[in-house]
Structures are given as structure tokens and as C-alpha cells.
Amino acid sequence: MSEFLSSLRLLKRMNWLMLAAILGLIVIGVFFIYSATSMREDSTADLFRKQMVWAAAGLGCYLMTAMTDYRRLRDVSWGLYAMGVILLVAVLFFGTRIYGAKRWLMFLGVGVQPSEIGKLAVIILGACLLSPLVEKYARLPSLWKLFALAGVPMLLVMKEPDLGSALVFLPIVTAMLFAAGTPVRPLVTLMAGGALVVLLVLAAVALPERLGMTPEHQEKFFQTIRLSDYQRDRIAVFLHPGKDPMGTGWNKRQSEIAVGSGGLTGKGFLNGTQNILGFLPRTVAPTDFIFSVIAEETGFAGALLVLALYGILTVCGLYAAMVARDKMGRVLCVGIVTMFFTHAFVNVAMTIGVLPVVGIPLPLVSYGGTFMVITLFTLGLIQSVYVRRPGL
Amino acid sequence: MPAANNTINSELGRIRLILIIMLVLLALLGGMLFSLQVSREGEFEESLHRQSMRRIRLPAPRGLILDRNGVALADNQPCYCLALYLEEIRKPGKWKYTVAEIQRRITELAVLIGRKPVITEDDIWLHIRRRLPLPLVAWRSLDPAALARLTEASCDMTGVDIYVEPARIYPRNELAAHLLGYVGKAELSDADIAGYQYTLPEMEGKMGLERKFDKVMAGEAGGRLVRIDASGFKHAEQVEQEPRAGDSVILALDSRIQALAESAIRDVPGAVVVLDPRNGDVLALASSPTFNPSQFVPIVPKVLWEQLNADPNRPMLNKAVAEVYAPGSIFKPVTALAALNNGAVSVGMTVDCPGYYMIGKKAMKCWNPNGHGRVDLRRAIEQSCNVYFATIGVKCGNDAISDLALLFGMGAKTEIELDREAPGLVPTPEWKKNAWRDDWRVGDTCNFSIGQGALAVTPLQMALMAAALANGGAVYRPRLVTALRDWQGTILTNFPSVKVRQLPVAPAVMEAVRQGMHDVVMAPTGTGRRAGIPGVEMAGKTGTAEYGQKEDRKKHGWMIVFAPYDKPRYAVAMVVDDAVSGGLTVGPRVHELMLGIFGGTPATETGAGG
């Protein structure tokens, strides 16, 4: 009981600016989920209410996590990792298939993306492994061991297939290793290797056609390198934006029009033409393309506000890393901020058409229950590190 | 522990580096957003507009055609259509669900209004593919009973509404059909539809005044902007530019007299023209048989069209201006004027009519085989004596007659505002040489003098002649349209009456001929006495002209009259096919017409009583 009270007292040391930014993003999210669904008559018109419920649950979770000492994670890190891997295997068998990909597991009517849990598990395990209890004597685990540990869930995510989420593992692990003091040279080598893989994938998609391969040969080639049609389409659309305006390229094009036509101050709340007329597909407007709705209705000013709030969160998160009492806290914060930042960056970048359309939502803003709760849980971990900073 | 501190410092440095990278990346995103939203905004605004806006061409309300008293002869009336608004009916999922729903609704409505469905599944698909943002018209021209049932219906009426389309009607049906013409579906040119994605049915004049004044009455089409959603359904609409209503055409026509004129020849092929001799106003212009232009809107039924064109009496032809006839004896006043005017003949000169006139060794018969005895001009006109007119015609020469006939307006179009006007023909020696490669002979002059031979005139030209005889020699251009008026009633253009020329005829000469014409109607023995009506002093001339094969013995009956004799207000020319003679066949019809015209006005106004 006294422990509970003392942790409650700890909450007073919380980074209030960070909490304000979080609340700001959540409020913006609720408003524009409402805008994105307001003209609909089916059950989706209720999404903003559900989002509020999820946000409330998430904020509760956030406070609980902030009160709990992050160092306790050491006890559960391996277990969490194992659970993550099991779920990722399970989703391949029992997942709900949406648009040709199995990414969701349904528990009692609530959808969970195991890839989210996988990322979280890798961050927590990585933070533990990179900060041995007795720092002085410890030696860092080899780069390869860590990459192997991160690689298992990453490959499973790729198998779903969810290329976008899988690639998010790379910056997370790289940033954590870098922050943990891993020598730069092998790290750079690794990053170069990763970049090479990405380039190879892009080349594999783009080149066969350019080289004049017949469609049958292209088919065979893609089968050999195990790149699914769906993945190829997404990447191909990124490479050739004008191609197939009503197919995969549609969302990207319409999102660009939505953002672009927003102008400096936007068309006003509930007045986003692209959204109302359904050019911005109604299924993705409140989720992956919520930023388009915001940018169309509030213009550059509103879009910049959202970016600024993410900037505040990033600064607060990394500040927590800097003032953390131990290495585990530091690495943990860096991992979480990197995940969070990568999600936000990739989502906005795909909305404005500079990155391919990958199914990554905008943290705290996009509609999505479990994603909201998990995001707030990770941000709660940052607060947990922050409130336990030295200098009581 | 300097080592540990170093480690920590280097780790903090690394975190700072991560922070800087992230902030740079965010700034980069901000920069890209700026370029997309602020620098290139117009470009996306444009694409948004292009993909979501459609422009519909709105037809303008068509101008009316009114008679001189403001009676509408061509009018617009609302045509009630039952339309389905697909954006309210659509079903999620495949298009076929929506199509099935539309069909279900149409079947339901068919029972309700008691009419068979007229649009097929193919029509629905076509509408969805081509005109999705527009309402789908399921039935046109609903009757009041159907409208009543619709408003009282208890079934689901979402997406169902009454849609009003303007329809052209001719309230008096056949009245003045040849003048008015009719409208049909407009064929819009590429220039008309440039900038529009959709058009609605528009009308354009296909015949008569509807065609001649199409530009005036059509007005200017407007535009409506429709914002469509991603599936192509209508989302919202706004009128971008209101159409400008067309202007109305005001005629000199008097619909009462027009009705009388049509009635006078209703049962026989022919034509009547009634002019106001004081200004050339066309008070009535009728051709028989006629047609009902109301049956031609919106489209001419094929059967009716074929039937009208197969009719040997050619109902579609406006015989008053587009058909030429030999005038016969009604031309004789022109011969008389020509002969008296050039001094070849004096008013007092008499001619003995034995019943024939010798042209060389050939005898030309007078219509009265017993002869008229000795006749002077007045008696000759009254009795229409061929021998007298052949004699004076030969005396004055054909050139004098043809010159005067041309001055009367024969042989040329009158420039009335109607289609297919025939110029007719005034024969001359040059003409005969060109057309027949033959010389002009005395017989030609004799025939010409009595209105036979190659001389060909339209009923309108004869009415103008009658008007000139009535008013003492002023030849007017027939005026059918007196003014154009905009939809608010402001007169835009007045077409003044145009006097083409004054005939170079001495008043005494004119008076002599008029006296003869007076006796034609007013004398108990006059050939036109059957045309007379009590209380009105009239003048006129009858005529009979053979046509067709000689053995058929078919004759056109003619009569021209003007009245009242002293101050003429009406000049009439009437021709009918298959007549016994002008006096017998046409006289009673003119009588009926004049009775009607004067029946409505008090006797004091008729000028010369008794």
C-alpha cells in the first residue's frame, strides 16, 4: 500500500508537457475520426466514440505503467518475447485475412496485431540485454545475437505479409544498439547491409519490366524471390505513381490531392471534399489516412501542429532517455521513441506520397483500439523511466 | 569512474545525435508538406475539381408565340416526369444490387400510377454508365390522376420525385399550324456542349416561325454544377449560371380571324390570306388541309409523319406562300390598270363580246358562250368578260401588264418570315424564249391578260394585290411578326410596317377599276355576289383557273375581296382546289369568312353602310 502511495507521489514528477502533447494528439484524432465518418450512416459513424473509450483505457494503462518500475520488466522480458513470437506464429494460422494478408488475431471480438506486440517485445528484451545488471563487468551481447533475436519476429511479420511493419524493426534495433554504445563501424556495416536489402527488393520489383522480361518470366522470377503480388504492387505503385489510378495507386493519389488541396488553412472542419465525396476511401480515412483528412480540413497550419506535437513527444522521450537513472532506461526510451517516431514519420510520408503506402497507422491519432492502448503503454514506460530519474 | 562517465557522455551524445536526426526528418516532412499544400495547392485544387465536378447544360425556357392580342399560340407547359434520384436509392456493393433495387422500385411505382414501365434494365445500365449524377426519368407526362396517387402513396418514396420538364404546346392545336411550325429534339453542336459533361433534352424549331425565330426564342442555356462522389453519384449541386429565357415573338395575326379563315376552307384543299391593307399586317394566313403540331412534340410519331407525307393534298405544305397557282380572272384588275394607265384604253371605251375572241384564225372563248354584248370597263370587271380583257390586253401590250404585275409584287418573294416561299412567275417574251425556246405570240398576251398561261402566283401575292387595290396603290411587305418581347414583357424590337412602293397609277384609273370590283360583289348580277354580307360594302373579283390534265377539267376557284369599300381594313385572297368556279365555290366561303370578321364588330365601324 505504501509502495502504491509512493509511486503515486512519483507521478508528480511526470513530464507534463509530454502528457499534454499526448492528450492533444488524442483529441485531434477523435475530432477527425468524427469528421472522417460523420457522413456515414452505418455503424462506423460511431468510431469516434469507440476511440474515446479506447483512449480512456489507454490513458489508464499509461498511468499504471508510469507508476510501475520499468526495471521489473527484466523478469518478464523473455516471457514477453516468447509470447510475441507465439502470437506471430499463431496469426499465420488463425489470423483474420484482410486484403490478402493475415495481420489480425481476434480475441473476444477485439482485434490485436501481433506485430505490435512483437515490436514491443523486441524493444523490452533488447533494453534488458543491452544493459546487464552490473554494468561494470558486463559485456554487450554480440550484435549478431541481438539481430537474430529481432530477426525472428521481423521475418514472421514479413510472412503475414506486412512489409511495412517488418521494416520498422530495422530502425528500432539500430537506434537501440547505437544508443547502447555499440561500436559504430559494425553498426554502419549492418545498416548498409539493411539498406542494400531494401534496394535489392525495390530493384527486384522495378527492374524485370525495365529489362524487358516477358510477364511469364517476371512471374517466375517473383515466385523464386518470394515476393507476393500484393507487396510488388505496393512497391510498384511507389515507383510509378501514375500507374493504375483506380487500383493500388488510387489511395496514394487521392491522399495527395486531399493534402494538396488543403492549402494553408484548410477547408474547415467537416468540409474535406475528398473525404466527404469518398475519393479518400472511407475504409482507410479514419485509420491509415487520418492525416489526409486533417491536412485537407485544417491545411498546412493543422498538419504542422500535428508534426509539432510529434516533435514534442520525440524531444520529451529522448530527454527522458538522457536523464534516465540507468542504461536500461536509456535504451528502452530510445527504442520506444524510435518506434513511435518511425510510425509517425512513415505514415505522414506515405500520406503525402513520398513513401509507398504501407499499412502503418498514425500513433495516437488513427482509429484503432489495441494500437492506441499499446502506444500509450509504451509512452507510459517512458514516463516510468522519467519519474525515476536521479535527483529525487 | 572516468571511464564510466566517458561511456555515459558518449551515450548521451549518441542520443542527442538520434534526436537531431529525428528533428531534421520532421522538419523535412514539414518542408514537403509546405511544398504540397502551399506552393502547389492550385495544382491539386484543379485535380480535385476535375474529378468531382460535372457541368450540366440547362435549357432556357423557350419564348412564346403570341397573336396581336396576346393570345398564346405556342406556349410552354410543365410536363410532369417521375424521376428516381439514384444517389438516394443506391445499394452498397455491386452495381447490380442498385440496378435490382431500381427495377424493384419501378415495378412498385408502375402498379401505383397504373402505367407500364417504359425503361428497361438496359436503359438503367446505360443511365448509370452515362448520366449517373442526373435523375433517371422513369415516366414522362404523368396525368393528374397519377400525380394524385403518387402524393397519396404510402409506400417508400425516398429517391422518388416529380421532375418538371418544360414541354412545348400549341394550345389551339391546328390553329396557324403552318405559320407556327413545331419544335423537335435539338441536335446540339460540339460548340454548344463544349464545357458541359451532361445535357438535358432541348427543343429547337423544325419548321415555320419556330424555326425562323429559333435563335430568338431559344434564349441562352445555363449551367448547373454537380459535385459527384467517388462512385459517380450526385453529391450536391448548385446553379452556376441561370439560363436566360428566350424572347417571345408577337405576331400581327388575329387568332379570331385566323380561326375563321381556317374554318372557311376546312373541308377543301386551299389557302386564305387576310391582310390589313393599311399596313400589310398578316391577320390570317391559312392553308388546308392542316396538321396538329401538338402531336409532333416531343417527337413526331412515325406513322403520323408517313401518313401526312403520303396525303396527296400535302397537309404539311403551306399553300398560302409555298404553292403557286394561275390566278385566272382575279388578275384582270391588273390588266385593266395597265391598259388604262398607259393610255391605250380609255375608261369609257366599250367592247362588244360575242362570246369569243379571234386570235388570228383561232377563237378564244369567253366564259359566257352567249357573249356579254357591249361592255364597258365596269361591266367587264363585274361580269369578268374575257373578250374585253383580251382586247385591252392586246391593245396595251404584254410588257405594260407584266411591268405592273411585277410592281404589284408578283414574280418575286414577298419576304414574309416564312419558309419555302415561292416567287411565282410573271411571263415575259424573254422568259418564254429561255424556258420554252419559243416566241411570244398574241395568244400569250390574251392568256396573260385574263390571268392564264404561265402566270403563277401565290395566295399571299394575291392578297397583297387585293390590299394594293383596296388602299389605292400602296404595296406593303407582308408583316407577320410585329415585335419581339422579353420574358418580362419589355418590347425589345418593333418591326415597322414597310411600304415597298406606291403603284404609278392615276387615282382616277384606280377608282374606275375599284368601281368594277365593287359591282362584282355588290351588283345583283356580279360574279362575286355570293360573297356579299349585309351591312358591309365590299369589292372583289372572282377567278377560275384550270389545272392538271385538260381532260380532268379541274379548276382552282379564286376570289379576292376587300372591305369596307371606302376605308378598307381587310384584304382577302382565297383559293380552293377542285372548284366549279370562283363565284360559285369560293364566293360562299368568302361570305362565311367576312360574316365572321364583321360579325364581331358593330355596323357603325364598318365604314360605308349599305
* DSSP secondary structure, B310-350, as one string: H-TT-TTS-HHHH--B--GGGGHHHHHHHHHHTTSS-TT--
Does the pLDDT of residue B18 top 60, yes or no?
Answer: yes
HSE-CB for B10 with a 13 A CA cutoff: 11
- The ipTM of this complex is 0.88
- Closest residue of A to B235, CA-based? A277
- Closest residue of A to B228, CA-based? A277
B26 and A300 in contact by Cβ < 8 A?
no
Question: A322-370: per-residue pLDDT in tens?
Answer: 999 988 999 999 999 999 999 999 999 988 888 877 778 999 999 988 8
CB atoms within 10 A of CB B403: 17
Chain B residues at the A interface, defined by Cβ less than 8 Å, are: 4, 7, 10-12, 14-16, 18-19, 22-23, 25-26, 29-30, 32-34, 36-38, 40-41, 43-45, 47-48, 51-52, 227-231, 235
- Closest residue of B to A257, CA-based? B44
Question: B457-510: per-residue pLDDT in tens?
Answer: 999 999 999 999 999 999 999 999 999 999 888 999 999 999 999 999 999 999
Among A32-36, A287-291, B198-202, B597-601, name the one with the lowest average pLDDT: B597-601
Question: B39-66: per-residue pLDDT in tens?
Answer: 887 777 777 777 777 788 888 889 999 9
Q: How many residues are recorded in chain A?
A: 392
Overall average pLDDT of the A147-165 stretch: 85
B33 and A303 in contact by Cβ < 8 A?
yes
Residue B606 is predicted with a pLDDT of 36
Residue A273 is predicted with a pLDDT of 75
B374/B156: higher pLDDT: B374
A352 and B38 in contact by Cβ < 8 A?
no
Which of B10, B14, B37 has the CB atom closest to A295's CB atom?
Answer: B37
Q: Which residues of A touch B22 (CB under 8 A)?
A: 314, 318, 337, 341
Which of A181, A300, A353 has the CB atom closest to B37's CB atom?
Answer: A300
Angle at B275 between CA B465 and CA B309, to 5 degrees: 95
Give how far B40 is from chain A: nearest CA, Å.
7
Residue A239 is predicted with a pLDDT of 54
Give how far A275 is from chain B: nearest CA, Å.
9
Question: A119-135: per-residue pLDDT in tens?
Answer: 999 999 999 988 876 55
Q: How many residues are recorded in chain B?
A: 610
Which of A180, A257, A300 has the CB atom closest to B33's CB atom?
Answer: A300
Does the pLDDT of residue B608 top 50, yes or no?
Answer: no
Question: B251-294: per-residue pLDDT in tens?
Answer: 999 999 999 999 999 999 999 999 999 999 999 999 999 999 98
Residue B239 is predicted with a pLDDT of 73
Fill in the DSSP letter of residue A98. Answer: E
B230 and A278 in contact by Cβ < 8 A?
yes
Q: How confident is the model at residue A263 (pLDDT cuts 50, 70, 90)?
A: confident
Q: The cell 475528398 sits on which residue? A: A274
B516/A237: higher pLDDT: B516
Distance from C-alpha of B13 to C-alpha of A256, rounded to nearest angstrom: 38
Contact A231, A200 (CB under 8 A): no
Residue A138 is predicted with a pLDDT of 54
Contact A299, A266 (CB under 8 A): yes
Distance from C-alpha of B349 to C-alpha of B366, rounded to nearest angstrom: 19
Residue A86 is predicted with a pLDDT of 94
Residue A62 is predicted with a pLDDT of 94
Q: Which of B499, B545, B133, B479 is nearest to B328 (CA)?
A: B545
Q: How confident is the model at residue B330 (pLDDT cuts 50, 70, 90)?
A: very high
Q: Which residues of B touch A139 (CB under 8 A)?
A: none
pTM assigned to the model: 0.68
Residue B610 is predicted with a pLDDT of 30
B91/A216: higher pLDDT: B91
B25 and A345 in contact by Cβ < 8 A?
yes
Does the pLDDT of residue B1 top 60, yes or no?
Answer: no
Q: Is the dihedral of CA B274, B280, B281, B282 positive or negative?
A: positive
Sequence-ordered strand ranges (E) for chain A: 96-98, 101-107, 110-112
Residue B282 is predicted with a pLDDT of 96
Q: Which residues of A touch B29 (CB under 8 A)?
A: 307, 345, 348-349, 352
Sequence-ordered strand ranges (E) for B208-345: 222-228, 234-241, 248-251, 270-276, 281-288
Does the pLDDT of residue A65 top 70, yes or no?
Answer: yes
In terms of CATH, what superfamily is B54-151+158-251? Penicillin-binding protein 2a (Domain 2) (3.90.1310.10)
Grid coordinates standing for B364?
378564244
Q: How confident is the model at residue A87 (pLDDT cuts 50, 70, 90)?
A: very high
A307 and B26 in contact by Cβ < 8 A?
yes
Among A218-232, A278-292, B476-490, name the one with the lowest average pLDDT: A218-232
Does the pLDDT of residue A226 top 80, yes or no?
Answer: no
- Best A261, A264, A347 member to test B by mutation, with max B CBs in 10 Å, is A261
Which of A307, A330, A352 has the CB atom closest to B36's CB atom?
Answer: A352
Q: Where are the domains of chain B?
A: 54-151+158-251, 255-606
Question: B396-449: per-residue pLDDT in tens?
Answer: 999 999 999 999 999 999 999 998 899 999 999 999 999 989 999 999 999 999
A278 and B229 in contact by Cβ < 8 A?
yes
A261 and B41 in contact by Cβ < 8 A?
yes
Provide the mean pLDDT of chain A. 83
Contact B564, B587 (CB under 8 A): no
Contact B249, B217 (CB under 8 A): yes
Overall average pLDDT of the A259-279 stretch: 80
- Best B6, B10, B11 member to test A by mutation, with max A CBs in 10 Å, is B11
- Closest residue of B to A347, CA-based? B29
Q: How confident is the model at residue B520 (pLDDT cuts 50, 70, 90)?
A: very high
Q: How confident is the model at residue B150 (pLDDT cuts 50, 70, 90)?
A: confident
B520/A146: higher pLDDT: B520
Does the pLDDT of residue B568 top 60, yes or no?
Answer: yes
- Closest residue of B to A300, CA-based? B37
Overall average pLDDT of the A148-155 stretch: 90
Residue A243 is predicted with a pLDDT of 45
Overall average pLDDT of the A69-93 stretch: 91
Share of chain B above pLDDT 70, in %: 96
Distance from C-alpha of A337 to C-alpha of A383, rounded to nearest angstrom: 12
| Residue A199 one-letter amino acid | L
Residue A40 is predicted with a pLDDT of 67
A17/B151: higher pLDDT: A17
Q: Which of B370, B288, B331, B283 is nearest to B582 (CA)?
A: B331
Alpha carbon B527 to its chain centroid, in Å, reads: 36
Give how far A280 is from chain B: nearest CA, Å.
8
Burial of A50 (0-12, 13-18, 19+ CB in 10 A): middle
Q: How confident is the model at residue B603 (pLDDT cuts 50, 70, 90)?
A: very low
Q: Which residues of A touch B45 (CB under 8 A)?
A: 260-261, 263
Q: Which residues of A touch B228 (CB under 8 A)?
A: 277
Q: Which residues of A touch B51 (CB under 8 A)?
A: 257, 279
A381/B546: higher pLDDT: A381
Residue A244 is predicted with a pLDDT of 44
Distance from C-alpha of B271 to C-alpha of B586, rounded to nearest angstrom: 11
Overall average pLDDT of the B289-301 stretch: 87
Provide the mean pLDDT of chain B. 88
Q: Which CATH number fits domain B255-606: 3.30.450.20, 3.40.710.10, 3.20.20.80, 3.30.479.10?
A: 3.40.710.10
Q: Which of A7, A3, A121 is nearest to A383 (CA)?
A: A7
Question: B377-399: per-residue pLDDT in tens?
Answer: 999 999 999 999 999 999 999 99
Burial of B77 (0-12, 13-18, 19+ CB in 10 A): exposed
Q: How confident is the model at residue B4 (pLDDT cuts 50, 70, 90)?
A: low
Helix (H, G, I), strand (E, B) or coil at A271: coil
CB atoms within 10 A of CB B194: 9
Residue B192 is predicted with a pLDDT of 78
Q: Which residues pair with B270 in a beta bridge?
A: B288, B576
